[in-house]
Amino acid sequence: MQFGPELHTPVSHRAAGVVILNAAGDLLMVRENGVPGQRQKAGLWHIPSGTVEDGENPQDTAVREAWEEAGVRVRLLKFLAAYLGHFPDGVPVLRHAWLAEALPDSIFRPALPDEVTEVRFVPKTEFDALYDARLIRMHHTKLFYEDALRERGR
């Protein structure tokens, strides 16, 4: 064996979400409410996404979270990327995203309304301004958006 179990690096936390663009290249985003225990994310913008539950396939997580957070029934078009990060306490997290499209039975309002206050398409210029104002929740969101624009331009 060339790369044995001693060279495997467990990642304790995984997340998955969707990147949905409209014809203009605007990004579908949700604005986090910040329920009790998660106040630090209140008011920040994010793609529909969430934690991969035990035994769940990340692809299924992405589809589930699109409905729960944004009221969007999705068809996954293509995998975009998985980015590694760390929480401030050093715990590693792997975040996956798929380029997706909204199906006609989408309602574009959260199925779990306590977690999200707003669902809408954000133009690229507004996204960049929100990023500069530190109102985008994660740097990884910017990487996924850039991946999606690149993928659509192929």
Contacts with a copy of itself, residue ranges (CB under 8 A): 1-5, 7-11, 40-41, 44, 55, 57-59, 78-88, 92, 94, 96, 131, 134-140, 143, 150-151
Do β-strands 92-102 and 13-20 pair in parallel, antiparallel, or remain unpaired? parallel
Compute CA distances 108 → 67, 84, 89, 146, 154, whole Å: 9, 29, 34, 23, 28
| Of residues 75 and 139, the one with the C-beta less far from a copy of itself | 139
| Of residues 17 and 58, the one with the C-beta less far from a copy of itself | 58
Confirm if 29 and 45 have CB atoms less than 8 A apart.
yes
| Of residues 71 and 116, the one with the C-beta less far from a copy of itself | 116
| Of residues 94 and 149, the one with the C-beta less far from a copy of itself | 94
Q: CB 99 → a copy of itself: shortest distance, Å?
A: 9
Compute CA distances 27 → 9, 18, 19, 101, 121, whole Å: 33, 10, 7, 11, 5
| Of residues 1 and 23, the one with the C-beta less far from a copy of itself | 1
Euclidean distance between CA atoms 63 and 72, whole angstroms: 9
Q: CB 107 → a copy of itself: shortest distance, Å?
A: 26
Exposure of 57 by Cβ count < 10 A (0-12 exposed, 13-18 middle, 19+ buried)?
A: exposed
Q: CB 5 → a copy of itself: shortest distance, Å?
A: 4
Q: CB 82 → a copy of itself: shortest distance, Å?
A: 4
Maximum C-alpha span of the chain: 51
Q: CB 118 → a copy of itself: shortest distance, Å?
A: 17
